[in-house]
């Protein structure tokens, strides 16, 4: 993927006259806008929604996404999982930077040429612009094929892990409840068949995406972000708010997904989710000028796309920037979940296993807060009973996988804690398969 984007940037810059010329053309045509501090949430891209809206999106991607969680579980230790995230940051920044730069290069190339392919009718969809540019500029034998190979390699690696994650979820959460008694070879066949089914559905979704207005990137971020925001809300509801119960989590998640999806679909159906188009020109496009009968002259400038009429009532929700859709689902899930938990009866925070609680105040400024205040901010969850470090637990699991059979390795899990007022009972299994029980006075 990086090689394909690099080939586009390099060849485009050579034809335009250098990266400085690309930047000059884009800046002169108002394609570069930095530091848009307008607090209006309906602005498509602003500093606020790019920071806070994207924060929720990436928190979902790296925090609760099933495909990413499976990758985390495949590494031996918690430290290795953290390192994998840190190593992913520069790669993501490089890929996003090259994507934005490729967009600037494509615009500068056709602006310098004086021919907008969409306005001239060569292509009908903005999503076709990148392949058209590849065939138009990368005329060197082999380069278009290299670019197609780059697209397939990037998409297949992501798609394969996503299909595997969906299949695993389907078996664990749905089919396993009924068919857990089946032998392993039958379970394997079922999971492989579900991968094929979801793959066929993905191909159908690809055909549907071709008819969507706007860019595929915006459509994918809108719909996946709407569902991902609600999923993140469920996790945060359970990990940060120990009063919430399962009824609040289920009801909040369902309403969060429905509400954010309603806004996403409504924005596309009403046309308000499509970005406005800045003016372009077809002045030097051969055989693609239109005669203006009113003025008796050639119309060589494609005007900007007219904005839809002002929204009224609930239609104002459809004008919300697509970057806020995950945040809408996230907040809706937490608010509705807490309300439903209050109606059906809060859980007792003292009954919560402290290993599943997220002490966000400890992480932010734990050394500056007194003990009593810290305990209050941690919702009175008693974290003093924790005596096992996550690294030790994961190292112990890895050691069991290396030295014991798979059945023994399955037995090694996070330590179980049973606490009362005076004694803590810790049960664990060492690497030799022997059970260890420790009584510790609190």
Domains of the chain (ranges, CATH numbers): 2-341 (1.20.1730.10), 390-441 (no CATH)
> Which residues are paired to 84 by β-bridges?
none
pTM for this one? 0.75
At 440 the pLDDT is 42
Residues of the chain with pLDDT under 70: 210-214, 273-276, 287-313, 364-368, 371, 377, 380, 382-442
Token readout for 169 is: 């979820």
CA distance 268 to 209: 12
At 226 the pLDDT is 84
CA distance 226 to 202: 18
At 166 the pLDDT is 86
Strands 423-429, 435-441: pairing is: antiparallel
CA distance 20 to 238: 51
At 300 the pLDDT is 52
CA pseudo-torsion sign 333, 339, 340, 344:
positive
Contact 340, 248 (CB under 8 A): yes
Decide: residue 127, CB within 10 A, 0-12 exposed, 13-18 middle, 19+ buried.
Answer: middle
Q: Residue 72: which residues within 8 A CB-CB, separation 6 or more?
A: 81, 84
At 311 the pLDDT is 62
Of the chain, the end-to-end C-alpha distance in Å amounts to: 56
Provide the 10 A C-beta neighbour count for residue 347.
17
């Amino acid at each position: 993927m990086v090689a394909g984007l690099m080939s586009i940037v390099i060849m485009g810059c050579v034809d335009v006259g250098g990266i400085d010329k690309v930047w000059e053309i884009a800046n002169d045509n108002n394609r570069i806008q930095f530091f848009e501090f307008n607090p209006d949430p309906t602005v498509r891209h602003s500093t606020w929604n790019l920071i806070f809206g994207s924060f929720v999106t990436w928190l979902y991607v790296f925090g609760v996404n099933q495909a990413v969680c499976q990758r985390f579980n495949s590494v031996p230790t918690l430290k290795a999982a953290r390192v994998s995230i840190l190593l992913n940051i520069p790669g993501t920044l490089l890929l996003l930077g090259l994507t934005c730069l490729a967009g600037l290069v494509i615009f500068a190339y056709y602006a310098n040429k004086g021919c907008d392919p969409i306005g001239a009718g060569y292509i009908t969809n903005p999503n076709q612009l990148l392949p058209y540019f590849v065939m138009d500029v990368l005329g060197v034998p082999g380069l278009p094929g290299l670019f197609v190979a780059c697209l397939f390699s990037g998409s297949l690696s992501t798609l394969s892990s996503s299909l595997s994650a969906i299949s695993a979820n389907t078996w664990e959460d749905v089919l396993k409840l009924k068919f857990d008694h089946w032998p392993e070879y039958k379970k394997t066949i079922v999971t492989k068949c579900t991968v094929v089914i979801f793959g066929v559905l993905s191909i159908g979704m690809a055909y549907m995406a071709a008819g969507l207005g706007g860019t595929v990137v915006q459509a994918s971020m809108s719909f996946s972000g709407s569902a991902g925001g609600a999923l993140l809300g469920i996790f945060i509801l359970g990990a940060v708010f120990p009063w919430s119960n399962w009824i609040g989590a289920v009801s909040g998640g369902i309403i969060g997904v429905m509400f954010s999806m309603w806004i996403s679909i409504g924005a596309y159906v009403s046309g308000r989710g499509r970005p406005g188009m800045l003016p372009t020109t077809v002045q030097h496009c051969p055989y693609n000028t239109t005669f203006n009968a009113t003025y008796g002259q050639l119309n060589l400038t494609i005007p900007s796309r007219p904005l839809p009429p002002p929204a009224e009532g609930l239609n104002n929700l459809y004008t919300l920037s697509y970057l806020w859709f995950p945040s809408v689902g996230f907040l809706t899930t937490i608010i509705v979940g807490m309300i439903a938990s209050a109606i059906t009866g809060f859980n007792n925070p003292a009954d919560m296993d402290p290993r599943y609680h997220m002490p966000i105040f400890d992480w932010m400024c734990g050394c500056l807060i007194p003990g009593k205040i810290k305990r209050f901010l941690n919702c009175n969850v008693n974290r003093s009973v924790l005596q096992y470090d996550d690294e030790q637990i994961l190292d112990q699991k890895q050691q069991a996988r290396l030295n014991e059979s798979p059945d023994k390795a399955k037995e090694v899990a996070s330590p179980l804690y049973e606490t009362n007022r005076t004694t803590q009972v810790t049960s664990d299994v060492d690497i030799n398969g022997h059970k260890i029980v420790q009584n510790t006075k609190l």
